[in-house]
Amino acid sequence: MGHWKIQVPKPSAKRLEKDRTFIINESGAFHSMDRKFPIPEGVDEFEFDFEFEENDPYVNRDILDADIYYRWYVEYKNSTGSRVEQITVKLEGV
């Protein structure tokens, strides 16, 4: 299991900081899934465990055309869910 961390970005509006979730979107030729990790309020750095697939180009740089792609971002919502903001983040190994 890989241990990773992200620097939690700031949203454009202060009211969006209450409901924030780190999301890993995994998509392939025949599937798409989101893995969600709630981020506690007031945290600037967030650590989590996640294992990439063996045939993923993020792990194996020799693979040019893999079936699985990832997008990782922090999603912010206001209390009613009427405003959503997504900010892409960079993964760092721990």
Share of the chain above pLDDT 90, in %: 40
pLDDT digits (tens, 9 = 90+) for 57-66: 555 555 555 5
Question: What is the three-class DSSP state of 26?
Answer: strand
What sign for the dihedral angle of Cα 51, 54, 59, 65? negative
pLDDT of residue 13: 86
pLDDT digits (tens, 9 = 90+) for 21-51: 999 998 877 778 899 999 998 899 999 888 7
Which residues have a Cβ under 8 Å from the Cβ of 34 and sit 6 or more positions away? 23, 24, 25, 26
CA–CA dist 89, 37 (Å, integer): 14
pTM of the model: 0.79
Instruction: Tell me how far apart the 2 most distant CA atoms of the chain are, in Å.
Output: 45
Q: Indicate if the pLDDT at residue 53 is higher than 80.
A: no
- Structural domains of the chain sorted by starting position, each given as residue range(s) with its CATH number in brackets: 3-93 (2.60.40)
